[in-house]
Amino acid sequence: MIPETTLDQTAAWKTLANHADDIRHQHMRDWFAQDPDRAGKFTLDACGITLDFSKNLINDEVMTALFDLAKQESVEAKRDAMFDGAIVNHTEQRAVLHTALRNFSGAPVKVDGKDVMPDIRQTQAKMRQFSEAFHNKELKGYTGKIITQVVAIGIGGSFLGPKIMSEALKPCWIKDVDVHFVANVDGCHLHDVLSELDHEETLIIMSSKSFSTQETLRNTLTAKEWFFTQGGEQKDIAKHFIAISSNVKAATEFGIDEKNIFPMWDWVGGRYSLWSAIGLPIALRIGFDNYEAMLKGAYEMDCHFKTAPLNQNLPVIMALLGIWYVNFHHAQSHVLLPYYHYLRGFPAYVQQLDMESNGKRVAGDDTVVGYATGPVIWGSEGTNGQHSFHQLIHQGNVLIPADFMLPLNVPNQHAEHHAMLASNCFGQTQALMQGKTFQACFDDLASQGLDDKTRTALATHKTMPGNKPSNTLLFEQLDPQTLGALVALYEHKVFVQGAIWGVNSFDQWGVELGKVLGNQVLDKIENTEATLDFDSSTNQLISRFRAANPT
Ligand code: F6P
């Protein structure tokens, strides 16, 4: 039998379990009443981000015990190993160096004794040159028309970062050009995008680190077929197709001109790849200077993460709070609530980052983990969610910690709208924290002429337990630099949690199995004579599909 990880037998873990028992019947609203300085004590600023974590189920003792857990699990040493290029991703024998892509220190970063910074700078210079040529209208298609439309094809990390960050920085968009994103292999999406475009003005970017992802290969092939049916020929491909990949050989074999390939490296994880050439569509959308500002914001957060003491370290604190709820309060999910329309995709971005990284069950010492690891990450923009799923967060019987996010200023600000947005954001955190007592609900019903029984029943329904935890993250405004810092904040939060749970946050074997089985099923669908030898359910589904799609 494979032995179980012993983290949950350790002293720090047991201390936290005791604290959880101690505070189970205490209420945050009493803590706020008792300590007028609670907000000040539990608020930190770094890299343009303010984190108010005072509305959490914590006191000084809990925080001390959480920091002790981080120390016990050598979080700082593990962090330094990652930044230094150690083989942190041990199941794939890879370093994890997305931080090198935004390293503005001038210092070398070595993998196997070789400094990776010169290659990074060379690729970034190529990205700058390419985006400037695009914005200066120097990129021309095979008929001499100026390229103004970009279709970026990729999936997972080769899609979410570029799309969601481009969307978040809409106020920085360069005019007269457009960047479209396609991920799903569902042909409807690609069809919708391509059918609106003039192939003579269109550039296709194929973004795939491995250059072997089924969806991306299929979508790019279809885009190529579309290009040919519109009048383009093989010799014209070089002016309309580029690739971003660590597999330069496969990209060249696919027909992409070698000078049109932007390299990346195996030490950049897919879900951390927006800092590599995978970020090119962002630079095309907002300009290279703005893209570089994002990198600088992320670098600032890296410096903060590396140097701030644990008790003043934003990613560490957010990670520890997450562990506090997952492992000691049975929270199974974590909701992200950006109160900013342009940041509406951020929950989906963090969903991949967090769930693909920490959705794991085996620790680094090959033991099976017996405690919960990464939570379900979900959410959407405020205030929309208030009229939908917030009800469950307020009164449901499951604990759902929340991260509220709000820029204090937004471009094109309509003062009345922004004040309402902010008041809803703050009001929600307040309602979740303080709730509403039965007595307050009962008193409110005094004027309605109800008999006592009805009044009691109604007050019971209206009672809000409160004591629901939330963080509030404020930004002066969500400019490229602050967005970079925000993304890096969540990356490091996920890293710290993985370091404590002991899992490898940088592989994704579960996803790989899905890819393999998907290909096996595709074989049976395409080869209609093939015997169906899977389980009876899968066989039945394939049969029905074959019947509905005769060849
Ligand atoms: O979904 C799994 C995954 O491996 C992600 O980690 C990655 O971002 C995505 O597939 C796309 O991979 P690639 O860039 O190699 O096409």
Question: What is the per-residue pLDDT for 80?
Answer: 98
Report whether 309 contacts 494 (CB < 8 A): no
**Tell me: the pLDDT tens digits for 156-167?**
999 999 999 999
Residue nearest to atom 1 of ligand 1 (CA): 156
Which atom from ligand 1 is nearest to the alpha carbon of 269?
6
Pocket test for ligand 1, best of 89, 160, 210, 275 (most atoms within 8 A of CB): 210
Which atom from ligand 1 is nearest to the alpha carbon of 511?
2
Give ligand 1 pocket residues (Cβ under 6 A): 155-158, 208-210, 213, 216, 270-271, 356, 508, 511
On the question of pLDDT at 528 being above 80, the answer is yes
- pLDDT-based confidence at 551, cuts 50/70/90? confident
Question: What is d(CA 388, CA 390) in angstroms, rounded to the nearest whole number?
Answer: 6
- pLDDT-based confidence at 302, cuts 50/70/90? very high
Distance from the alpha carbon of residue 255 to the mean position of ligand 1, in angstroms: 21
Report whether 201 contacts 149 (CB < 8 A): yes
**Tell me: the pLDDT tens digits for 63-107?**
999 999 999 999 999 999 999 999 999 999 999 999 999 999 999
Distance from the alpha carbon of residue 148 to the mean position of ligand 1, in angstroms: 27
Distance from the alpha carbon of residue 153 to the mean position of ligand 1, in angstroms: 12
Question: What is the per-residue pLDDT for 180?
Answer: 98
Which atom from ligand 1 is nearest to the alpha carbon of 356?
6
Question: What is the per-residue pLDDT for 461?
Answer: 98
**Tell me: the pLDDT tens digits for 51-74?**
999 999 999 999 999 999 999 999
**Tell me: the pLDDT tens digits for 381-422?**
999 999 999 999 999 999 999 999 999 999 877 999 999 999
- pLDDT-based confidence at 2, cuts 50/70/90? confident
Distance from the alpha carbon of residue 387 to the mean position of ligand 1, in angstroms: 34
Pocket test for ligand 1, best of 89, 91, 98, 155 (most atoms within 8 A of CB): 155
DSSP state of 173: P
Exposure class string for 407-423: b at 16+ Cβ within 10 A, else e: beebeeeeeeebeebee
Mean pLDDT of 325-337: 98
Report whether 56 contacts 31 (CB < 8 A): no
Report whether 345 contacts 168 (CB < 8 A): yes
Distance from the alpha carbon of residue 154 to the mean position of ligand 1, in angstroms: 8
Q: E strand or H helix at 474, and its extent?
A: strand 470-475
Question: What is the per-residue pLDDT for 166?
Answer: 98
Residue nearest to atom 6 of ligand 1 (CA): 270
Q: Which residue has the tokens 């069950």?
A: 361
Q: What percentage of the chain reaches a pLDDT higher than 70?
A: 100
Mean pLDDT of the chain: 96
Question: What is the per-residue pLDDT for 79?
Answer: 98
On the question of pLDDT at 1 being above 80, the answer is no
Mean pLDDT of 497-516: 94
Residue nearest to atom 13 of ligand 1 (CA): 208
The tokens describing 266, both together, are: 């195996």
**Tell me: the pLDDT tens digits for 114-151?**
999 999 999 999 999 999 999 999 999 999 999 999 99
Question: What is d(CA 123, CA 105) in angstroms, rounded to the nearest whole number?
Answer: 18
For residue 145, the SS3 value is coil
Which atom from ligand 1 is nearest to the alpha carbon of 216?
16
ipTM of the complex as predicted: 0.97
Residue nearest to atom 4 of ligand 1 (CA): 270
Q: What separation in angstroms does the CA of 350 have from each of 192, 219, 322, 421, 428?
A: 27, 25, 14, 22, 22
Residue nearest to atom 10 of ligand 1 (CA): 156
Which atom from ligand 1 is nearest to the alpha carbon of 213?
16
Question: What is the per-residue pLDDT for 178?
Answer: 98
DSSP 230-247: TT--GGGGGGTEEEEES-
Which atom from ligand 1 is nearest to the alpha carbon of 157?
8
Distance from the alpha carbon of residue 65 to the mean position of ligand 1, in angstroms: 37
Q: What percentage of the chain reaches a pLDDT higher than 90?
A: 95
Query: Catalytic positions, please?
Result: 356, 387, 515
Of the CA atoms within 13 Å of residue 374, those in its CB half-sphere come to 26
Distance from the alpha carbon of residue 268 to the mean position of ligand 1, in angstroms: 11
